[in-house]
Structure 1
Amino acid sequence: MPRIQAFLLMLALACAPAAMPEPAKAQEAQRPFSQCLAVAQSLPGATYANFIPDDMDTGFKLAQAGSAEVEIMFAGHSTYVITTPAGVTIATDFNGWSGRVAIPRVVTMNKAHSSHYTLSPDERIDHVLRGWNFDQTPADHDVVVEDVYVRNVTTDIRNFSSMEPDGNSIFIFEVADLCIGHLGHLHHPLEDKHFAQIGRLDIVMVPVDGGLTLSHEAMTGIARRLQSSILLPMHRRGAPLSSFIEMMGDNFVTDYVNSDSFTISARTLPRRPTIMVLKGV
């Protein structure tokens, strides 16, 4: 072999990355790309950028940008049912008995009260995502089901007179170029780190009880900072909804929808931030 060819071969071998001894573990550690974290404005000096090439496999099927529609239905209390363009059904704060919920593909839960979870979900449910772990460690979900990516951000929860770390989860559903969030049974104001972990939310489901979770003052502050296009009230117990709407201010319009469901796409998001009150809320 000519010297120049031998030298080039040795150089190539020297520069080649070392083989991974356990490729299975490396694959398990890789998280799907989050479009909702591509831009976050909460941490000072932090910039989130998407460096993923157009032809890279992100781990799930993306619909044509902005064109596909998602259906959102209010099923009762804190349960909304999201139906993706591929037909995947997701029920939030699923308890197994309330609301008009069939057998979803995915359910999320929070443990503040039995109306937000069940310990005996139907065996036909493919993915049961609890917002807490029984061993007190933070729940960590990164689940892809056809065209939707589901992840969570943990928060603390009141447990009698003290706060239990990581007892609640904010769930984020990324589908059809939309970022949809469910705040769960939120018991404390969010910090900069939480907003950074959440990222962008086009649609957010917010408890509006005014005290069982957070006061209207605290919850409206969170909702305004999220700057979502659509705000969906839930957990309507206690203080009147009108108080929450008034405290949201004139930047938000209110739409009382004469139906318990609606369809939305990235292209049809309202230009002005809107509080949508579905039938039954």
Structure 2
Amino acid sequence: MMLRMVMLTLFGLLLGLNAAQAQQQPSRPPVSQCQAIAQNIPGVTFASFKTSDVQLAQTTAKEEVKIQYIGHSTYTIESPGGVIIATDYNGVYRPPVTPTVVTMNNAHSTHYTLHPDPAIHYALHGWSDVPGEKAEHKLQVGDVYIRNVTSDIRDRWGGGGLLQKDGNSIFIFEVAGLCIGHLGHLHYELTETQYAQIGRLDVLMVPVDGGLTMGSDSMSRIVKRLRSALILPMHQPSALEQFLSTFGAQFKIAYASDTIIRVSMKNLPRQPQILVPKGM
């Protein structure tokens, strides 16, 4: 009887220990399905994962994502699960519905605010407030996985002044099988490492302004290299025609007939398409 009681006690302790360990061990983070791994730069191969080993960031490719241009560099992205994201949120160009997540870049005051609406659950800075560090985001919000790739910027007034390391973030939103990228306030052409970190982008939001970020020729080279199925311009409407003129017949140019752009894996253009949103 005594031996049995001792064994039951030890068994109970082991069960308690295993339960405590299970509580301490965080669930595995989602893995990007869009990211390329730079194994032999400039040669880049896409990552391959076993679904039994990881939590997939994109749960379905059958549903559509709603995208709306709000103004300047602010787009809203609404996931099938109802997560609403506002890009380069500055508090001036406000979406009709309070977003769940906002992203920001501090190159100019029109791309961020230090006083976002308190009802916003996540305000993601594209820069780090800690000298020498860079912002790093890997966040699952509902059915959206959000990550970033940093890039350098000039001083916030857009001139040829001081360099700010990692002052801009290219935010990437993985949802419904889609890889959606927002270049933010991009000032320099991307490196091979950055292209590898970005990976595949099905939808690309690109600033056009003739030189406040980058000249049209330089920006168009990035667009051609990424070769996204759907390219959505933003930032400065006055530079739009100059930007469009840098593309040849390989890129189709169209103008949105509705304020809401509905995107899914099924309806992505087969030929790269620059779609000018209403209001741009």
> TM over 0.5: same fold?
yes
Query: If the TM-score is normalised by the length of the shorter chain, which range does it land in?
Result: 0.7 to 0.9
Q: CA offset at residue 250 of structure 1?
A: 1.4
> Are 2:144 and 1:148 aligned?
yes
The aligned runs of 1:112-151 (5 Å cut-off) are 112-136=107-131, 137-151=133-147
SS of the equivalent of 2:168 reads: strand
- 1:183-205 residue CA offsets vs partner (Å, 9 max, x unmatched): 00001110000000000000000
Distance 1:121 1:227 in 2: 34
Does residue 52 of structure 1 match 2:54? no
Contact 2:33 2:56 in 1 (8 A): no
Deviation at 1:257, TM superposition (A): 1.1
Q: Take 2:216 and 2:279, find their aligned partners in 1: how far apart are those partners?
A: 20
- After superposition, the Cα gap between the structure-2 partners of 1:134 and 1:49, relative to the gap in structure 1 and judged at 3 Å, is closer
Name the count of aligned residue pairs: 257
Q: How does 1:86-101 map to 2 (within 5 A)?
A: 86-101=81-96
One-letter amino acid matched to 1:198: I
- What's the C-alpha RMSD, in Å, of the aligned pairs? 2.4
1:108 and 2:106 matched: no
2:197 corresponds to: 197
Output one character per residue of 1:111-155: Cα deviation in whole Å (capped at 9) or x when no partner.
011111010111111111000011131000001011000000000
Report the residue type matching 1:169 in the other structure: S
Report the Cα distance in structure 2 between the residues aligned to 1:127 and 1:183, rounded to whole angstroms. 19
Pick closer, same or farther for the CA change 1:145–1:268 going to 2, 3 Å: same
Structure 1 segment 135-214 matched on structure 2, within 5 A: 135-136=130-131, 137-159=133-155, 161-214=161-214
Deviation at 1:103, TM superposition (A): 1.1
The Cα of 1:48 is off from its aligned counterpart by 2.9
Asked whether the 8 Å contact 2:73–2:234 carries over to 1, the reply is yes
Change (3 A) 1:176 1:135: same
Write the letter of the residue equivalent to 1:158.
R
Residue type of the alignment partner of 1:91? A
Q: Distance in 2 between matches of 1:76 and 1:199?
A: 27
> Which protein is richer in strand relative to its size?
2
The residue type equivalent to 1:263 in the other structure is: R
Asked if structure 2 preserves the Cα contact closer than 8 Å seen for 1:110 and 1:132, the reply is: yes
Q: 1:277 to 1:120 in 2, by over 3 A?
A: same
- 3-state secondary structure, aligned to 1:272: coil
Equivalent position SS for 1:267: coil
- What is the CA-CA distance between 1:248 and the residue it aligns to? 1.9
Secondary structure of the residue aligned to 1:35 is coil
Unmatched segments (≥5 aa) in structure 1: 1-18
Question: Does the C-alpha gap of structure 1 residues 24 and 253 become closer, same or farther in structure 2, counting only changes over 3 Å?
Answer: same
Distance 1:178 1:46 in 2: 20
Segment drifting more, 249-258 vs 92-101: 92-101
- Are the counterparts in 2 of residues 40 and 199 from structure 1 also a CA contact under 8 Å? no
Q: Which residue of 2 aligns with 1:80?
A: 75
Map residues 218-229 of structure 1 onto 2, 5 A cutoff. 218-229=218-229
- 3-state secondary structure, aligned to 1:150: strand
Q: CA deviation at 1:243?
A: 1.5
